Amino acid sequence: MSAEQPVSPPPAAPAPPPPPSAGEFGNFLKSKGINSTPLGNDAAGVEMLELETKDLVSACKLLKESDFDFLVLITSTDMKKGYQSIYTLHSTNTKKSLRVKVTVPKETPMVPTISHIWETANWYEREAYDMMGIIYTGHSNLKRILNPDNWEGYPLRKDYIPPTDSLNGPHPLTETEYAEKTLSKT
Amino acid sequence: MSIVKDTNQIEKGFKTDEMIINMGPQHPSTHGVLRLILKLDGEIVKDCEPVIGYLHRGMEWLGQNRTYVQYQALVDRVDYLAGMSDSHAYILAIEKIANVKIPLRAEYIRVICSELNRIISHLLGLGIFLLDLGAMMGFPFYTFRDRESILSFLEEVSGQRMMFNYFRIGGVFKDLPKGWTRKVKKWLTEEFFKYIDEYEAIATNNPIFLVRTQKVGYLDPKIALSYGVTGPNLRASGFDLDLRKYSPYSVYDKLEFNVPTLTGGDTFARYKCRIQELRESAKLVLQAIEKLPGGDTEDLEKNKVQLTSGENPVYKPEDLMVLAKGKNVAPAFKCGPGEAYAAVESPRGQLGVHLIADGSSVPYRLKWRSPSFNNVSILPELVKGHPVADTVAIFSSLDVILPDVDR
């Protein structure tokens, strides 16, 4: 018996999954003139959809008016195609959840702020900026929240190199930069 | 509390100015290291900016650089007073993606331990709250004495006083020790309910306590929800949002309990809500012990064959295990690909984990939704217009744990 056996049953024969069709809120947004890409449901059955960056604020306003009174969480991720800002919304009236994703290119990670719609977004956007380097345009106080102000780099990016001794030693990136500078001079 | 303003000084030509002072990060009433930048007009707070991050340990980064099984031992440190809730949220997220079915007995053990953990957390919160209000002697000792009894119960179960690391993917670490449920039941019924009355006798009708807490730091439920405030803070404002009732996870739908909801919204209501939750949690523990499949470990060993055999067995054999399939998952347990957000009701509010798994044995992205993070963000709204001394009372009544804020 191999020790590597996981508890979950092995996945069934890999059949190509059908492209997910638009869910309830995807259709709702479409009826209001906002296009979205359906991403299917997650493991807990929550509808997920992807929006264009320019549609984010108008879509969020619509969703807030249609009972999504609770912004649970903003997650930032580093995917291959770019940085993602993921919004988990919840309605305390209908008990429904929705996950909205926005992908921005790695060269210009700019997402419009929604902190004027949900106050929760204020600190979560600061955290996403701190950790992933996503710049939320229009945010009133976009500065680092958990890391020190003079921290270099964005720790949760996949290409981040952590400092060897974060308390005392210099940051490795600084050393590299220093080496590059001295090399280019000689 | 009314503050008499001496207007004569201005008339006499004294220069008055707003003052910016720094409260913390080493202030004794900040429960860790929180820095508040206060803008004061005399004694009245005009503006407040919390500066957090002094206890940032990079929990999310650590999670993304460890396997699922390795990271289990670290999650208790996110909110060190509610280690069981932390583990529960993290394990639930994995189990949702990996579609693991948990044995019934393990679910009940999880509920018992989580609720005992809630009692510990509220007891410490209450003790510290009264301490911050100036009750240096007496009250904190009572709550800490009773907290110690529960800590030793949980130590017997998990091997540690606070960093339990007890929940496992698919169940719990091991079965309860022999005679444990009887001991807990005896302590709760014979002693703990009396102790809660004792706390109330000391604090609830104490005139000094009432003056310090009533009508101080009113929190509007609508504003609270827009800031993401959850837990007893929200329920004290009259918003009935408790995930145990609202969207039951584990076996909370099989248990009967009330969710204390008050309408005061002030510091006193938040205190009162926690006191009532103590009673509800204790009742939940007693009820879960009563319904625990197989009963105490001794009884289970005696009656296992009886319970699972015959024409109409009471339980299936797998219900009486404490781990799915009766064994731990492999160290290189793989999960996904998939995405899930799992949340539990921790003593401080909605504690969630947003997990994005890519099918390897390391989480691709793991994001904590820690309730204290949101609960601190509302502080500027609450303290405006109150004296500095009330800032301490209001902050303490939010029951914030700074490691949970900074992660």
Indicate whether B283 and B345 sit together in one domain: yes
- Asked whether residue A66 is domain-assigned, the answer is yes
Residue ranges making up the domain that contains B39: 8-50
Q: Which of B242, B365, B378 to mutate to test the interface with A (most CBs of A within 10 A)?
A: B365
Indicate whether B112 and B211 sit together in one domain: yes
Q: How many CA atoms lie within 13 A of B394 on its CB side?
A: 26
CB contact under 8 A, B53 and A145: yes
- Asked whether residue B386 is domain-assigned, the answer is yes
- Asked whether residue B2 is domain-assigned, the answer is no
- Asked whether residue A41 is domain-assigned, the answer is yes
CB contact under 8 A, B369 and A73: yes
Helix (H, G, I), strand (E, B) or coil at B165: coil
User: Buried (b) or exposed (e) across A14-42, using 16+ Cβ within 10 A?
Assistant: eeeeeeeebbebbebbeeeebebebbeeb
Return d(Cα B268, Cα B291) in angstroms, integer: 35
Q: Specify the pLDDT at position A168.
A: 60
User: Model confidence over B171-213: pLDDT tens digits?
Assistant: 888 888 888 888 998 999 998 888 888 888 888 888 888 888 8
Return d(Cα B396, Cα B271) in angstroms, integer: 10
Instruction: Quote the mean pLDDT of chain A.
Output: 80
Confidence band of B10 (pLDDT split at 50, 70, 90): low
Indicate whether B328 and B285 sit together in one domain: yes
Of B291, B302, B270, B264, which is closest to residue B395 (Cα–Cα)? B270
Q: Specify the pLDDT at position A10.
A: 61
Distances (CA, A) of A68 to B243, B287, B404: 17, 35, 26
> Across chain A, where does the E strand assignment appear?
36-41, 47-51, 70-79, 82-90, 97-104, 110-112, 135-137
Q: What ipTM does the predicted assembly reach?
A: 0.84
| CATH (domain of B162) | 1.10.645.10
- Structure-token pair, residue A96: 């429904």
Residue B396 CA to chain centroid, in angstroms? 14
Per-residue tens of pLDDT for chain A, all 186 residues: 455 555 666 666 666 666 777 777 777 777 877 777 878 788 778 888 888 888 888 888 888 888 888 888 899 998 888 898 999 988 888 888 888 899 999 888 888 998 888 888 889 999 999 888 899 988 888 888 888 877 778 888 888 877 766 566 555 555 556 556 555 554
Indicate whether B29 and B109 sit together in one domain: no
For residue A99, the chain B residues in CB contact (below 8 A) are: 339, 341
Asked whether the beta carbons of B71 and B363 are under 8 A apart, the reply is: yes
Omega into A17 within 30° of 0, i.e. cis? Answer: no
Which ranges of B133-266 does DSSP label H, i.e. alpha helix?
Answer: 139-158, 180-187, 193-203, 207-213, 221-226, 232-235, 243-246
Indicate whether B35 and B140 sit together in one domain: no
Q: Which residues are CB-contacts of B325 (< 8 A; sequence separation ≥ 6)?
A: A7, B170, B318
Confidence band of B2 (pLDDT split at 50, 70, 90): very low
- Asked whether residue A177 is domain-assigned, the answer is no
Q: Specify the pLDDT at position B328.
A: 81
| CATH (domain of A125) | 3.30.460.80
Indicate whether B201 and B348 sit together in one domain: yes
Indicate whether B40 and B66 sit together in one domain: no
Of B102, B98, B99, which is closest to residue B320 (Cα–Cα)? B102
- Asked whether residue A103 is domain-assigned, the answer is yes
- Asked whether residue B361 is domain-assigned, the answer is yes
For residue A92, the chain B residues in CB contact (below 8 A) are: 225, 239, 241
User: Model confidence over B231-246: pLDDT tens digits?
Assistant: 898 888 888 888 888 8
- Asked whether residue A176 is domain-assigned, the answer is no
How many folded domains does chain A comprise? 1
CB contact under 8 A, A43 and B340: yes
User: Model confidence over A53-88: pLDDT tens digits?
Assistant: 888 888 888 888 888 888 888 999 988 888 989 999
How many folded domains does chain B comprise? 2
Q: How many CA atoms lie within 13 A of B333 on its CB side?
A: 28
Q: Specify the pLDDT at position A177.
A: 61
Query: Percent of chain B, pLDDT > 90?
Result: 6
Asked whether the beta carbons of B377 and B228 are under 8 A apart, the reply is: yes
Question: How near does any CA of chain A get to the CA of B182, in Å?
Answer: 33
User: Model confidence over B293-318: pLDDT tens digits?
Assistant: 877 877 777 777 777 777 777 777 77
Q: Specify the pLDDT at position B119.
A: 92
Q: Specify the pLDDT at position B1.
A: 47
Return d(Cα B8, Cα B218) in angstroms, integer: 31
Residue ranges making up the domain that contains A41: 24-153
A30: left (phi over 0), alpha (psi -120 to 50) or beta: alpha
Mean pLDDT of B23-47: 81
Mean pLDDT of B116-123: 91
Indicate whether B42 and B135 sit together in one domain: no
- Asked whether residue A162 is domain-assigned, the answer is no
